């Protein structure tokens, strides 16, 4: 029975992670005699025993399958029951790295929350390390306590139900680093200082979602003598596979040319029509002039004839339009040069690549029925699909700002007084003004100074300047 | 893998045999007890942060001086026994600790209205050089410059502080010894020569370590072409317990010289062992050289030969042990940060990777991971391959002056993470059953139509397949992707086919 099983196969009592999809991972304690029922099917726990970790596992009723994975803190983060907002991998990884949490480290964590960070750093410090975890919310504390015990982490994590603002950590010079995920970390930084070891550099990270919290935290860290204060934002951007059409631009050119040719033909047919009308009119006029006498019956007949012809012609043009459109768009084939179609009114030129063969017979009815059968098809549908990748829609990771600082062992002492944190400028100015009492420093520079009265400094001024220098370094 | 004492730390060159990493780092004399790794010791590697922000790597030799160029020179022994992190000013008498405090700055009515951009400073470069030559300290030169600055008092308090900082970075002889942690060493190399570590940024490295579940007692396979940066990070996280099997592409021990930038204790390095890719071939055998003393005992009495054979035997045994370990498999984490085509490596390592183990591939090149992901998605041995790109931004948080750093957001590489799984050909989802039925139907239709010679209904088939895919209830999102891929293939296949729907 184990959470972090070392065996390659699943055993009864093991906690496993049931992976159903990228977004659906669930913890499961393998309990023979029971079965897991999900929309992916029924899975008998008995059948899981003896199956290698990492196996694809079929449901007993053939509805689907899942993968049976060995828990890691990372999978746990994705599978755990949320009691609070939790920390995710990018933040956890960066904090672990910056705080130099490693095998054997001793770390304070407050609050425990859902235990996502706890699991990760407990893994990282190992059996030689120690996590002191604090949670003031009783229900969360109780749940975390049971969870840590079940997961065999209770020897690495010492969990306390405690309000750290009020009661602190009850540790002195003990831990290498402190991680504060609290609404008001500044209330606990003093206690953190107490708990951090002073014989070497030790580190703190405060995790706050809002910049205003960061500012108050920074002020508190500074007042309490932490140095090297800085803040980071760690995020992760996903890259996902995607397919896109990547048509050659020549397809667009051909399509345009097709349309242009069609327009040109329509224009020409219109011109020809107009010309024909003009000629007819002219002929009629001449005829009228010549004959003088009006033969009503004849004229009427001829008129209706020409009307009919016109109708036919215009139908021809319409059909041609339709076929042209289809031809150009479905196949993007080359179209005949405009000149060829000049005489095309009565007898439209055959279009080389028409998708519907029946359209060439100029039979309106047949054409229509064909159109009905064929649904609209995206002309680019057959363009080769191009496999590519794009950044995921969401940037994951930002839950909070990470404010870091370092606590240094005391040394020197003389410049420790916070009073020395005076204004740079004042110090320099006074240094420039305050005569030449000589500099406490030693060696040749003191001699040089004695000669040069312009740069005398008192010891106090120097202390102030030293303080100032540090602000510069901190500011880096 | 050589257990022979190798020559002193050979730098970068990959082809050269480099100092074996399973040996204690070469340092002078035996070390004091390791408990105090957090204090500076004789022989330790230390990073020095200069006022300019630049990091410099030094080795503490108590008898020598450390020269920091214009930032001065100090005696290395002055740092021995000291903690990391203090900022020291170099004085004639030694080192003086500077105490850090943050200044709240008072708002004043000052503005830059009457400050001209040039000509305010009366001291010329030559004047300052002269002052330097006179032996004035940096602090004195700054005071002089402030004094000679006609518009200094017109400046805002913020501006004054910024001015002072700039001058201090230029003239003060101060430095800060920085602990060579994984984070700091990675940052140092990233800033100094990012190509050397394949643009591996510290936060990227931290994510790799976390994703790969590197921990004390873990069993890790590593292909490291970043001079040991990944191996070093793993060493630090294992604390001497576990196994780091490094596989490299040359017939000499892998180049892990960045391990020598740390102050590891010999026991920390115990998990490291290595073999080359040729040895991952089942048929590979080491050169047949006499190994058994009993066999050769009769032939030679030469002590040198005997020592040689003994050493060779030790090397052989170690190599065999490593190889056996590799073939026994069951590694619970894999990290690739190498120049090789990643799938060719994974294919080779596959039998040795334990079930459910995280497989992490780092590359500075996105397209390399793209093609790997494409391959892995259709490979039943890897679950959910996904690519991510770490993103990091640093902020200045001085009181009243909080803003992101102007520089710093640099490309830090890409990570592909997957999980090693075992396929079960029998396990199929309900949806996949339906899909198979659909595919059969399509196949039949295709045959039918081909027989009819009806090739005009191009596109209809594709549309039909799309529709079918849309309908198919997918059990998992990965499956949905598979289905989508399958459908794409089908579109191509079934292009000349029509299916009335």
Mean pLDDT of A402-417: 71
Q: pLDDT digit string (tens) for A129-181?
A: 999 999 999 999 999 999 999 999 999 999 999 999 999 999 999 999 999 99
Predicted confidence at residue B102, as pLDDT, reads 56
In a domain, A402, yes or no: no
Contacts of B182 in chain A (CB under 8 A): 97, 100, 102
State whether residue B335 sits within 8 Å of chain A by CB: no
CB contacts of A153 in chain B (<8 Å) are none
Strand B382-398 to strand A227-245: parallel, antiparallel, or no bridges (unpaired)?
antiparallel
* Cβ separation B237–A103 shorter than 8 A: yes
Q: Could you tell me the CATH number of the domain that includes residue A229?
A: 3.40.50.150
> Is the CA virtual torsion B281, B286, B288, B290 positive or negative?
negative
User: Mind telling me how many Å the CA of A276 is from chain B's nearest CA?
Assistant: 39
A460-474, B304-318, B471-485: which is most confident = B304-318
For chain A, percent of residues with pLDDT exceeding 90: 51
How would you classify the pairing of strands A202-208 and A177-180? Answer: parallel
Asked whether residue A65 falls in the same domain as residue A96, the answer is no
- Residues B272-297 have pLDDT tens digits of 999 999 999 988 888 777 777 666 65
Alpha-carbon dihedral B214, B217, B222, B227, rounded to 10 degrees: 80
Residue A424 and residue A453 in one domain: yes
Question: Which has more pLDDT, A341 or B158?
Answer: B158
Predicted confidence (pLDDT) per residue in B233-249, tens digit: 999 999 999 999 999 99
Q: Does B478 touch chain A (CB under 8 A)?
A: yes
Q: Do domains B38-100+118-179 and B193-420 have the same CATH topology?
A: no
Of A121, A131, A180, A128, the closest CA to residue A154 belongs to A131
Question: Alpha-carbon distance A210 to B135, whole Å?
Answer: 49
Nearest CA in chain A to B373: A241
Is the CB of residue B310 less than 8 Å from the CB of residue B173? no
Question: Which region among A411-415, B92-96, B108-112, B189-193 has the lowest average model confidence (pLDDT)?
Answer: A411-415
Q: Which of B43, B357, B103 is nearest to A229 (CA)?
A: B103
Smallest CA-to-CA distance from A179 within A326, A188, A170 is with A188
Task: List chain B residues with CB under 8 Å of A215.
Answer: 397, 399, 402
pTM for this predicted structure: 0.72
Check residue B421 and report its DSSP letter.
-
Test mutation, B53, B91, B103, chain A, max A CBs within 10 A:
B103
pLDDT band at A348 (very low <50, low <70, confident <90, very high): very low
Chain A: give the shortest CA distance to residue B468, in Å.
Answer: 16
Q: Are residues A41 and A133 in the same domain?
A: no
pLDDT band at A32 (very low <50, low <70, confident <90, very high): very high
- A55 - beta bridge partners? A68, B422
Does ipTM come in above 0.85?
no
Which residues in chain B have their CB less than 8 angstroms from residue A39's CB?
Answer: 475
pLDDT classification of B165: cutoffs 50, 70, 90: confident
Which residues face B196 on adjacent strands? none
Domain span at residue A421 reads 415-475
Please count the structural domains in chain A: 3
CB B233 within 8 A of CB B214: yes
Residues 263-282 of B with CB under 8 A from A: none
Are A166 and A19 part of one and the same domain? no
Which pLDDT score is estimated for B201?
A: 94
Residues A51, A97, single domain; the answer is: no
Question: How far A146 CA lies from chain B's nearest CA (Å)?
Answer: 23
- pLDDT per residue as tens digits for the range B10-40: 333 333 333 444 444 444 444 444 447 889 9
pLDDT at B398: 82
Same domain, A85 and A209: yes
In a domain, A313, yes or no: no
Please check whether residue A260 lies inside any domain of the structure.
Answer: no
| Domains in chain B: boundaries | 38-100+118-179, 193-420, 430-467
Topology adopted by domain B193-420: Rossmann fold (3.40.50)
CB B100 within 8 A of CB A222: no
Distance between A314 CA and the closest CA of chain B, angstroms:
28
If asked whether residues A102 and A189 sit together in one domain, one would say yes
Q: Do A107 and A132 fall within a single domain? A: yes
Whether residue A296 is predicted with pLDDT greater than 70 in this model: the reply is no
Q: How many helices (H) and strands (E) in chain B?
A: 13, 15
Q: What is the DSSP letter of B28?
A: S
pLDDT (0 to 100) of residue B456 = 46
Same domain, A49 and A108: no
pLDDT at B206: 96
* Strand segments (E) across B225-323: 243-248, 272-276
Average pLDDT value over all residues in chain B: 79
Which helix (H) or strand (E) is B146 found in, with range?
helix B138-148
- The answer to whether the Cα torsion of B258, B66, B62, A473 is positive or negative is negative
Mean pLDDT of B458-486: 46
Dist CA B329 CA B347 (whole Å): 14
How far is the C-alpha of A140 from the C-alpha of A131, rounded, in Å?
A: 17
B210 vs A92: CB contact, 8 Å cut-off?
A: yes
| Length of chain B in terms of residues written | 501
Q: B342 pLDDT band (50/70/90 cuts)?
A: very high
Closest by Cα among B179, B231, B180, B242 to B205: B231
B411 pLDDT above the threshold of 80? yes
Residues A192 and A223 in one domain: yes
**Do residues A459 and A434 make contact, with C-beta atoms less than 8 angstroms apart?**
no
Check whether residue A144 and residue A226 sit in a common domain. yes
Residue A297 domain-assigned?
no
Chosen from B73, B78, B99, B354 to mutate, greatest number of chain A CBs within 10 A: B99
Q: What is the CATH number of domain B38-100+118-179?
A: 3.10.330.20
The answer to whether the Cβ–Cβ distance between A20 and B476 falls below 8 Å is yes
Q: Give domain status of residue A192, yes or no.
A: yes
Q: Averaged over A388-403, what is the pLDDT?
A: 76
Please report the pLDDT score of residue B429 as a whole number.
57
Contact predicate A94/A232, CB 8 Å: yes
Residue of A nearest to B476 (CA): A21
Look at A401 and B127; give whichever has higher pLDDT: A401
Last residue of a domain, one of A211, A233, A255: A233
Comparing B484 with A84, the larger pLDDT belongs to: A84
A6 falls within a domain: no
Distance CA B204, CA B208 (A): 6
Q: How far out from the chain centre does Cα A180 lie?
A: 26
Q: C-alpha B23: how far from its chain's center? A: 22
Closest CA to A180 of A143, A212, A208, A140: A208
pLDDT of residue A339: 42
Distance separating alpha carbons of residues A166 and A358, to the nearest angstrom: 89
* B109-154 confidence digits (pLDDT tens): 777 777 776 777 777 888 888 887 887 777 888 887 888 787 777 7
Residue B170 to chain A, least CA–CA distance (Å) = 12
**Same domain? A80 vs A62:** no
């Amino acid at each position: 029975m184990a959470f972090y099983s070392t065996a390659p196969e699943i055993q009864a009592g093991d906690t496993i992670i049931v992976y159903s999809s990228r977004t659906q991972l669930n913890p499961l304690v393998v309990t023979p005699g029971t079965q897991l029922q999900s929309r992916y099917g029924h899975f008998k726990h008995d059948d899981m025993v003896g199956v290698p970790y990492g196996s694809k596992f079929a449901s007993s009723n053939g509805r689907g399958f899942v993968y049976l994975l060995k828990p890691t803190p990372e999978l746990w983060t994705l599978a755990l029951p949320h009691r609070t907002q939790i920390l995710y991998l990018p933040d956890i990884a960066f904090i672990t790295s910056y705080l130099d949490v490693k095998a054997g480290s001793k770390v304070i964590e407050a609050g425990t929350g859902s235990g996502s960070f706890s699991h990760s750093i407990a893994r990282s410090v190992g059996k030689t390390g120690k996590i002191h975890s604090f949670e003031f919310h009783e229900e969360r504390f109780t749940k975390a306590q049971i969870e840590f015990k079940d997961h065999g982490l209770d020897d690495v994590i010492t969990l306390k139900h405690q309000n750290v603002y009020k009661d602190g950590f009850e540790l002195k010079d003990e831990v290498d680093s402190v991680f504060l995920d609290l609404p008001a970390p500044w209330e606990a930084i003093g206690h953190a200082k107490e708990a951090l070891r002073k014989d070497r550099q030790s580190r703190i990270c405060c995790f706050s979602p809002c910049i205003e919290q960061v500012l108050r935290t920074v002020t508190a860290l500074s007042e309490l003598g932490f140095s090297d204060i800085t803040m980071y934002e760690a995020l992760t951007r996903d890259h996902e596979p995607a397919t896109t059409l990547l048509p050659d631009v020549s397809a667009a050119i051909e399509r345009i040319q097709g349309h242009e040719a069609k327009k040109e033909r329509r224009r020409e047919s219109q011109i020809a029509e107009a010309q024909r009308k003009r000629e007819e009119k002219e002929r009629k006029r001449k005829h009228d002039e010549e004959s003088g006498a009006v033969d009503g019956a004849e004229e009427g007949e001829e008129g209706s004839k020409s009307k009919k012809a016109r109708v036919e012609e215009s139908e021809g043009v319409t059909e041609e339009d339709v076929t042209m459109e289809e031809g150009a768009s479905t196949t993007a084939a080359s179209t005949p040069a405009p000149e060829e179609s000049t005489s095309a009114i009565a007898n439209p030129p055959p279009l080389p690549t028409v998708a519907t063969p029946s359209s060439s017979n100029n039979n309106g009815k047949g054409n229509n029925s064909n159109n009905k059968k064929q649904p609209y098809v995206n002309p680019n549908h057959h363009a080769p699909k191009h496999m590519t990748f794009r950044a995921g829609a969401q940037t994951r990771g930002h839950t909070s700002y990470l404010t870091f600082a370092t606590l240094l062992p005391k040394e020197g002492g003389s410049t420790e007084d916070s009073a020395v944190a005076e204004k740079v400028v004042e110090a320099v100015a006074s240094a420039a003004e305050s005569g030449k009492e000589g500099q406490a420093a030693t060696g040749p520079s003191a001699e040089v100074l004695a000669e040069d009265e312009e740069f005398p400094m008192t010891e106090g001024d120097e202390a102030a300047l030293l303080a100032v220098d540090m602000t510069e370094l901190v500011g880096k | 893998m050589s257990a022979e004492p190798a020559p002193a730390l050979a730098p970068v060159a990959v082809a050269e045999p480099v100092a074996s990493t399973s040996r204690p780092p070469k340092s002078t004399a035996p070390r004091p007890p390791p408990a105090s790794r957090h204090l500076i010791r004789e022989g330790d590697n230390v990073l020095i942060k200069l006022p300019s922000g630049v990091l410099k790597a030094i080795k503490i030799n108590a008898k020598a001086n450390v020269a920091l160029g214009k930032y001065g020179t100090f005696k290395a022994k002055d740092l021995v026994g000291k903690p990391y992190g203090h900022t020291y000013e170099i004085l004639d008498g030694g080192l003086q600790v500077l105490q850090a405090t943050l200044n709240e700055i008072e708002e004043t009515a000052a503005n830059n209205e009457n400050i001209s951009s040039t000509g305010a400073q009366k001291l010329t470069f030559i004047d300052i050089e002269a002052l330097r030559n006179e032996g004035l300290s940096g602090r004195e030169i700054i005071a002089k410059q402030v004094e000679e600055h006609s518009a200094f008092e017109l400046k805002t308090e913020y501006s004054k502080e910024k001015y002072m900082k700039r001058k201090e970075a230029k003239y003060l002889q101060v430095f800060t010894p920085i602990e060579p942690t994984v984070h700091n060493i990675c940052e140092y190399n990233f800033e100094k020569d990012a190509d050397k570590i394949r643009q591996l940024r510290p936060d990227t490295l931290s994510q790799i370590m976390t994703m790969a579940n590197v921990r004390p007692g873990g069993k890790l396979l590593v292909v490291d072409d970043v001079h040991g940066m990944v191996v070093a990070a793993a060493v630090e996280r294992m604390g001497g317990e576990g196994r780091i099997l490094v596989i490299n592409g040359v017939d000499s021990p892998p180049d892990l010289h960045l391990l020598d930038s740390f102050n590891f204790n010999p026991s920390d390095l115990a998990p490291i062992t290595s073999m080359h890719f040729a040895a991952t071939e089942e048929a590979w055998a080491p050169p047949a050289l006499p190994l058994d003393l009993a066999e050769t005992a009769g032939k030679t009495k030469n002590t040198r030969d005997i020592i040689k054979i003994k050493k060779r035997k030790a090397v052989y045994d170690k190599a065999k042990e490593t190889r056996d370990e590799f073939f026994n498999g069951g590694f619970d984490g894999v990290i690739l940060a190498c120049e090789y085509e990643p799938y060719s490596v994974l294919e080779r390592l596959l039998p040795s990777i334990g079930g459910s183990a995280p497989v992490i591939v780092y590359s500075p090149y996105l397209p390399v991971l793209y093609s790997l992901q494409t391959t892995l998605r259709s490979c039943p041995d890897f679950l959910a391959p996904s690519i991510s790109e770490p993103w990091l931004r640093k902020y200045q948080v001085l009181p009243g002056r909080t803003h992101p750093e102007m520089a710093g957001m640099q490309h830090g590489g890409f990570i592909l993470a997957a999980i090693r799984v075992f396929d079960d050909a029998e396990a199929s989802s309900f949806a996949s059953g339906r899909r198979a039925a659909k595919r059969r139907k399509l196949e039949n239709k295709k045959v039918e139509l081909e027989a009819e010679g009806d090739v005009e209904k191009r596109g209809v088939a594709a549309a039909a397949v799309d529709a079918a895919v849309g309908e198919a209830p997918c059990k998992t999102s990965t499956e949905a992707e598979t289905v989508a891929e399958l459908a794409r293939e089908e579109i191509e296949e079934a292009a000349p086919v029509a299916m009335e729907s």
